[in-house]
Structure 1
C-alpha cells in the first residue's frame, strides 16, 4: 500500500509544479492588467527612423507622414485629423510613422522620396497603396483602407454572416 501511495504522489508532483508556474505568470494587480488592455486599444505613433518596414509585413499597415519640419501647417493639420478617429485606425491595424527630419534618411524616406509634406499608406503586403501631397481626411483614409483586398477579407473573417 505504501508503494502505491508513493507512486500516486510521484505522479501528481508535476501537476503541482505546473500550478505554481501558472500562478507566477498571472499578474497580481487586476488594475495593471486592465491598463495593458487599454494601452493596446490606442493608435500606435512611432518615429519613422525607428521603423523597419519589413518587420511590419503581414502584421500592420503603415501610414507614413512626411514633412520638412514639425511646425509645417499641413503636418499639424494631418495629425489633428488623425486624432479624431484614432480608434478606427487602430481597428484597421494602422501604425502611424512620423518623419519631420529630412536630414535623417530613414528607410521610409529613402524608399518613398517625399518632397515636403507627403502622406503614404503602405499595406500589410508591403506595397505602397496611396501617396498624397496634402492632408487627407481620416474618413477618406479609412475608406481607402477598407477597399484593400486584404482588409475586405479581414472584415469577412470578423463577420462571416455577410458572405
Structure 2
C-alpha cells in the first residue's frame, strides 16, 4: 500500500505545484522526503495587499515598525531572508509595514507599539506576537508547533509519527 500511496502523492503534488517530478523506479524503497522549494519567498508591503487573499493558503509573518530605519525591522527581515527556502516549504509569505501614517488594515488590527513581529496561521488567527527580533529558527519552531502545520507534516510523511 505504501508504494501506491507514494506514487499517488508524488503525482498529486506535481500536479498541484505545476512542476513535473520523476519518481524513481525504486520509489517503494526510498523514504518520503520534504519537497524541494522552487518558489521564492514573497515579501509584500502591507499597504498594497488584502490579507484575506492568503487565508487558508499561506501563513503570514508580519513585521511592523514605526520607521523603515528601525534597526530591529531590518534585522528581522534579514533573519527571514537567511532561511527563505525553509519558509517557502512552510507556505510563508512575509508582510512588512514601516509606515504608521498610512494605517494599513493589518496595522489597525494588530496595533503595534513600535516594532513587532507576528505570525498568522493559515486559518487567519494571530498565533504569536513579539516586540523583539526572532531568529529564523525561532520563527520556524513556532510555526512547526501549530496544529495545521503538524497535520501537514504528518500528511507529507505519514510514517513519521
Bin of the TM-score, shorter chain as denominator length: 0.7 to 0.9
Q: Which residue of 1 aligns with 2:67?
A: 69
8 Å CA contact retained: 1:51, 1:107 = no
Structure 1 residue runs of 4+, over 3 Å off? none
C-alpha distance in structure 2 between counterparts of 1:83 and 1:45, whole Å? 9
Q: Which residue of 2 aligns with 1:85?
A: 83
C-alpha distance in structure 2 between counterparts of 1:120 and 1:51, whole Å? 17
Q: Which residue of 2 aligns with 1:127?
A: 125
Structure with the larger helix share: 1
C-alpha distance in structure 1 between counterparts of 2:68 and 2:127, whole Å? 24
How far the C-alpha of 1:40 sits from its partner, in A, is 5.1
Q: Which residue of 2 aligns with 1:109?
A: 107
- Scaled by the length of structure 2, the TM-score of the pair is 0.75
How far the C-alpha of 1:51 sits from its partner, in A, is 2.4
User: RMSD in angstroms over aligned alpha carbons?
Assistant: 1.5
**Structure 1 spans left out of the alignment, 5+ residues:** 1-38
How far the C-alpha of 1:71 sits from its partner, in A, is 0.9
Q: Work out which of the residue numbers 56, 77, 80 in structure 2 matches 1:58.
A: 56
C-alpha distance in structure 2 between counterparts of 1:105 and 1:40, whole Å? 34
